[in-house]
Amino acid sequence: MKLTHSAVLEPNAATWKRIADGLKKAGLKVSAAREVDKLDAEGLVVLGPTLEEPAKVARRVKAAKPNMLLLAARKNAFSASFADAVLPLPVSPNDLRARLPELAALRRAPAAEPHQRPVEGILDPLTGFYTFTHFKEVIFVEVKRARRYGIPLSMALADFDPFGLVVTPELRSQLMGGLALAIRRSLRDTDYPVHFSGDRVLMLMPHTDLQGALIVSRRICERVAKATLACGDEVLRPTVSIGVASGSVGRDYSFADLTRRAQASLDAALAEGGNRVEFYDMVAEAAVEPLNGNGAPVAR
């Protein structure tokens, strides 16, 4: 069922309006309901950031309207245990519009199966990205096109830095969902994010040179580093490392060449302690772009 109607439970009028405006720009109708007992046929309910006792409100919503999808509007969080997913603030209409089919599927999913992964599928269920198996031909074509017509092309591989906890299926789902949001909000519509292997996400960026790919990669690192993730009694602050490789205009290279260099760059970044971007230029030697604790480049 397609999500078309929504409600925002938020006591602050200005905050309510900002969230509602974002939902409307994403193509959703926003009802006048501001309290649980006013909800009617909305498919999606957003719990605002200034709402008192949001977990208690969430339980009331679930009890009254069990089929409604709950989103927690938050500035810096990967997940909220009382909600089905997080709505990052400020609301990005383009990002939300892209996520709506995924959210609708989450609404339909049986309660016992939200973190199960199918054996084979076109979309990765945790990120909404295409699986590499079903998208590799498109990637190969883009590499051939860039090489033939002298178009700049870059590739990035992202992975989480170790943080000393056993990654349960639920925690992995939250981590990958948060990374997917950071990536979606950083890439253009013409870029290709693909679930590559394990928890690694491949990003192919046509018409993007090395400097452009570094800007995108830094942005992703910054967004992840600013977020928090509740895990039991602990609050995690995940970070990611990214390896970047760019094809040189006028030089012969293959998808395998880019992949190998991006993987080597990512592995080196992880080995150096993580929370950093390492890149490989086919003309220059590999160089490292370290990030500080806030995810910003370190001045050199």
Hey, what are 102's tokens?
A: 């995924």
Q: What is the mean pLDDT of residues 194-221?
A: 91
Residue 112's pLDDT is: 39
Distance, CA of 220 to CA of 130 (rounded, Å): 19
Report domain extents, the chain: 5-108, 130-290
* Average pLDDT of the chain to the nearest whole number: 83
For residues 209 and 95, the model is more confident at: 209
Q: What is the mean pLDDT of residues 151-178?
A: 87
Distance in Å from the first CA to the final CA of the chain = 52
Hey, what are 40's tokens?
A: 């009617």
For residues 178 and 95, the model is more confident at: 178
Tens digits of residue pLDDT in 64-118: 998 899 999 988 766 677 888 888 888 888 778 877 877 777 666 554 344 444 4
Residue 99's pLDDT is: 77
Hey, what are 192's tokens?
A: 């290709």
Identify the CA nearest to 217 among candidates 190, 239, 248: 239
Task: Dihedral sign for Cα 7, 22, 84, 165, please.
Answer: negative
- Evaluate if residue 255 carries a pLDDT over 60: yes
Distance, CA of 36 to CA of 152 (rounded, Å): 52
Do the Cβ atoms of 190 and 207 come closer than 8 Å? yes
Residue 298's pLDDT is: 44
CATH of domain 5-108: 3.40.50.2300
Express as a percent the part of the chain with pLDDT over 90: 44
Q: Write phi, then psi, for 128 (nearest 5 degrees).
A: 80, 5
Hey, what are 218's tokens?
A: 């830094």
CATH of domain 130-290: 3.30.70.270
Topology match between the domains 5-108 and 130-290: no
pLDDT-derived band at 148 (thresholds 50, 70, 90) equals: confident
Residue 282's pLDDT is: 59
Task: Dihedral sign for Cα 289, 291, 295, 297, please.
Answer: negative
DSSP class of 286 = P
pLDDT-derived band at 122 (thresholds 50, 70, 90) equals: low
For residues 35 and 293, the model is more confident at: 35
Tens digits of residue pLDDT in 14-68: 999 999 999 999 999 999 999 999 999 899 999 999 999 999 999 999 999 988 9
Residue 93's pLDDT is: 86
Beta bridge partners of 7: 45
For residues 159 and 140, the model is more confident at: 159
- Evaluate if residue 237 carries a pLDDT over 70: yes
pLDDT-derived band at 1 (thresholds 50, 70, 90) equals: low
pLDDT-derived band at 265 (thresholds 50, 70, 90) equals: very high
Residue 87's pLDDT is: 86
- Evaluate if residue 119 carries a pLDDT over 70: no
